Structure 1
Amino acid sequence: MTNRGNKTLDLNCDMGESFGAYTMGNDLAILDQVSSANIACGFHAGDPPTMRRIVNAALAKGVAVGAHPGLPDLQGFGRREMKVSPAEAYALVLYQVGALAGFVQAAGGRLNHVKAHGALYNMAARDRALSDAIAQAVRDFDPGLVYFGLAGSVMIEAAQALGLRCAHEVFADRSYQDDGRLTARGTPGAMIEDEDRSLAQVRQMLHEGRVTALSGATVPVRADTLCLHGDQPGALAFAQRIRAELGADGVALHAPARG
């Protein structure tokens, strides 16, 4: 990679998604590669012992801790859409953020950010009323929290309207549509499995401020934080590679600071 000057980027990972007898991801190893951890809060995945363990590990490693609230759908891993009203979404998010924040406080830390999970995230990216409700729950819990939302989407607009600090999120392993939304899972081409192609997409978003959509169209995008999925095959190896190559490219990794 060519050194193209210094830039700051947050590298975040969705984790803490094991529960009961089920183990997902290699969270403790991935924590060494990222600057922010989005920890499941027990609805789409995770359970209290897992929440406590990953919160404590993240704080010990100096990784910023965020709540990762999702829809109440363990079987579907929170990736199946549900018909929820804005009032229900508000309550779901507030409940889960409060639960995760309790573990952070007990460990002597402070919650840094909130990022919705899966279907809840994607629904909010196209539904301003839902985005308003989620952002309001975050603000009502703690107005100093950073709000992670899909870059350029109504999620960001809703959070900014309430005065929240925002981090525009981009993805290395997902393809984009012409309107800047992610291609729906299950659609051909939705997932980018080739590491070189993923890295090229990251480089384009970070250094050029744009991404090439699945159609071939060029879409403007702002990259504040880059998501890695901890449950993906080869997640650790990819995290190690992307961190090394971003470092060689002069990119410093820093979590967005809360208010």
Structure 2
Amino acid sequence: MAPSGGGGGGGVAPPARVDLNADLGEGFGRWSLTDDDALLDVVTSANVACGFHAGDPETVLAVCGSAARRGVAVGAHPSYRDLVGFGRRYVDASRTELVADVLYQLGALAGLARAAGTRVSYVKPHGALYTTAAGAGVHGEAVVEAVRRFDPELPLVALAGSPLLDLARAAGLRTVAEAFADRGYTATGALVDRRSPGALVTDPSEVAARVVRLVTEGVVRSVDGADVPVRAESVCVHGDSPGAVAVARAVRSALEAAGVQVRAASS
């Protein structure tokens, strides 16, 4: 896989291929959040919870096995230590603490993936850690250090155009620039806060049209109506969003109808 070109249009032609990923394994005990098997029939990469925001060992092992049988790439989806808040709350951890927390999660998933006949192919932070690390501050540095120490060959998935991509590349990591199928964008290319209007797009046909335009034209329509340049190699459909399976199916069908090759970015 070639290194990411980062975010922004810059006159560079969008890729003729794209990865389609979803956050999976996010149940816990008797509580089930998503239809993991149905989504695994559609996506090419699975961001699997590692236990700190969701995902008990039995659930994670089952998802890894299902992904292995379908040939779907498994990625680690580490989080802040925030099970109650589903990893969506900022945690003021020190750099050394966060490095250890991320390493712990990567190791846990790697063991379960191996037992299921697959392996961890990339790393994508979850929730508040994803957003905070994108700014490439201390927590971004901690994520990069953890990935580099665990396996410097693993690609790091991060928000297209974010400083974290530059930080990761400077540390010698491969990167994958990511966009979101069902999240609203601001005029600056940032994601709309989940608590604000327009944060989620739930209509399958609308999401599919947005993604096709993003991949083929390199732009996404912001919540205020502006076209924002976004260069992405992977597109995420949130597994916990309303109608996630229908949205994922609509996106994949629309991409294939547009002649876009859908395959894992880590392959």
Which of 143, 148, 151 aligns to 1:134? It is 143
> How many angstroms apart in 1 are the aligned matches of 2:50 and 2:63?
11
Residue number in structure 1 paired with 2:208? 199
Per-residue CA deviations over 1:28-82 (Å, capped at 9, x if unaligned) read: 1110101000100011000111111111110111000011011111221111222
Name which of structure 1's ranges 28-37 and 171-180 shifts more when overlaid on structure 2. 171-180
Which of 8, 16, 38 aligns to 2:47? It is 38
1:91 Cα deviation after fit: 1.5
Per-residue CA deviations over 1:73-128 (Å, capped at 9, x if unaligned) read: 12211112222222222111111011100111223322101100001101112243
1:139 Cα deviation after fit: 1.3
CA contact (8 A) 2:49 2:77 kept: yes
Residue number in structure 2 paired with 1:82? 91
Q: CA RMSD in A?
A: 1.6
Structure 1 residue runs without a partner (length 5+): none
Residue number in structure 2 paired with 1:180? 189
What is the DSSP-based 3-state SS (H/G/I as helix, E as strand, rest coil) of the residue aligned with 2:190?
coil
Residue number in structure 2 paired with 1:92? 101
Aligned length: 254
> How many angstroms apart in 2 are the aligned matches of 1:182 and 1:254?
24
> How many angstroms apart in 2 are the aligned matches of 1:89 and 1:6?
34
Residue number in structure 1 paired with 2:176? 167
CA contact (8 A) 1:146 1:256 kept: no
Per-residue CA deviations over 1:198-228 (Å, capped at 9, x if unaligned) read: 2232122211112222233332211100001
Q: How does 1:1-259 map to 2 (within 5 A)?
A: 7-257=16-266
Percent pairwise identity: 49
CA contact (8 A) 1:153 1:180 kept: no
> How many angstroms apart in 2 are the aligned matches of 1:94 and 1:87?
11
TM-score by length of 2: 0.90
CA contact (8 A) 2:205 2:250 kept: no
CA contact (8 A) 2:202 2:242 kept: no
Divergent runs of 4+, >4 A: none
Q: What amino acid maps onto 1:215 in structure 2?
A: D
